Amino acid sequence: MRGLEGRRVIVTGGASGIGRASVCRLVAEGCTVGIFDRNAAGAEETAALAAGPGRAASYLVDVADHAGVAAALSRFEQDFGPVEGLAHIAGWDRPQLFLETEPSLWDEVVRINLYGTLVMHHVVVRGMAERGAGRVVNVASDAGRVGSSGEAVYAACKGGVIAFTKTLARELAGRGVTLNTLCPGPTETPLFSSFVQDSPFGARLAEGIQRAIPLSRLGQPEDCAGMIAFLLSEDAAYITGQTISVSGGLTMQ
Ligand SMILES: NC(=O)c1ccc[n+]([C@@H]2O[C@H](COP(=O)([O-])OP(=O)(O)OC[C@H]3O[C@@H](n4cnc5c(N)ncnc54)[C@H](O)[C@@H]3O)[C@@H](O)[C@H]2O)c1
């Protein structure tokens, strides 16, 4: 893809699943990637797995910790230079029917999925706007477009990520920064396995979902990694404020 070689990109959630596949794809495209994740061992494993021509380095970060994100960004920029792209992929949920949830669960889901998104942009996108160039991809979820039983608060956060991305895309269009949202459908990752395991709808959920997907299979992390690389590249220079599902056709909007 055009313009990716040598690009400096931060990837949150790069220790696992879609984030790990995205780091591997971006390093294969020649990017220098900073992996921001709270799972230090997983992030280091990803950095070791990712095969060049690019490179990856890991930073222990909680995306909802403003000072921690600022410190990690400053270390990345000292190590490699100004950041040019952000793939904000980190996310978390524990499925439960809404009326059975406690506010402590809402706090954690909102902190990671919504507040963490605000923090990442407040810290990382500021420099891009000042320099007049940047590409951002936020990973939300089809739950934020069409709802998902057992994921009410998570879906609310992901809907918030979509609206936030569109708003910043408007605010920053004149400053050379594009922002788009990718909504994965059901994708085989550790998060999806725990969703199926903990779901109030039981273990047959994955089978049922698979039957409903027009392309007849669950997503793989690499299915999203290609779209993330594209949206960070110069091939996507004229695309901003868009929401794109990578879901095997499960949702068509
Ligand atoms: N897998 C799916 O079916 C699916 C569907 C829709 C959306 N998503 C979204 O895709 C993204 C990636 O999910 P995945 O399935 O690869 O999950 P995953 O659990 O495999 O990976 C998530 C990563 O985010 C990191 N993370 C979580 N909270 C963090 C925090 N506070 N600070 C820093 N890092 C943190 C984890 O350590 C982990 O490495 C998430 O935003 C998720 O909501 C996934």
CA–centroid distance, 174 to ligand 1, in Å, is 31
- pTM confidence score: 0.98
Nearest protein CA to atom 7 of ligand 1, as residue:
141
Tell me the average confidence (pLDDT) per consecutive run of 10 residues in the chain, 253 residues long. Answer: 96 98 98 98 98 97 98 98 98 96 98 98 98 98 96 98 98 98 96 84 80 95 98 98 97 89
220 lines ligand 1 (CB under 6 A): no
CB distance 141 to ligand 1 below 6 Å: yes
Query: Which H, E and C letters describe 216-243, residue by residue?
Result: CCCECHHHHHHHHHHHHCHHHCCCCCCE
List active site positions.
154
Q: Is the CB of 191 under 6 A from ligand 1?
A: yes
pLDDT in tens, 89-107: 999 999 999 999 999 999 9
**At the fourth CATH level, which superfamily is domain 8-243?**
NAD(P)-binding Rossmann-like Domain (3.40.50.720)
- For residues 60 and 37, give the distance between their C-alpha atoms in angstroms, rounded to a whole number: 6
The alpha carbon of 106 and the centre of ligand 1 are apart by a number of angstroms equal to 17
- Sign of the torsion formed by the C-alpha atoms of 70, 167, 181 and 116: positive
75: which 2 tokens? 């270390």
Q: How does pLDDT run across 139-186, given as a tens digit for each residue?
A: 999 999 999 999 999 999 999 999 999 999 999 999 999 999 999 999
**Which among 3, 48, 58, 60 is positioned nearest to 24, based on CA atoms?**
48
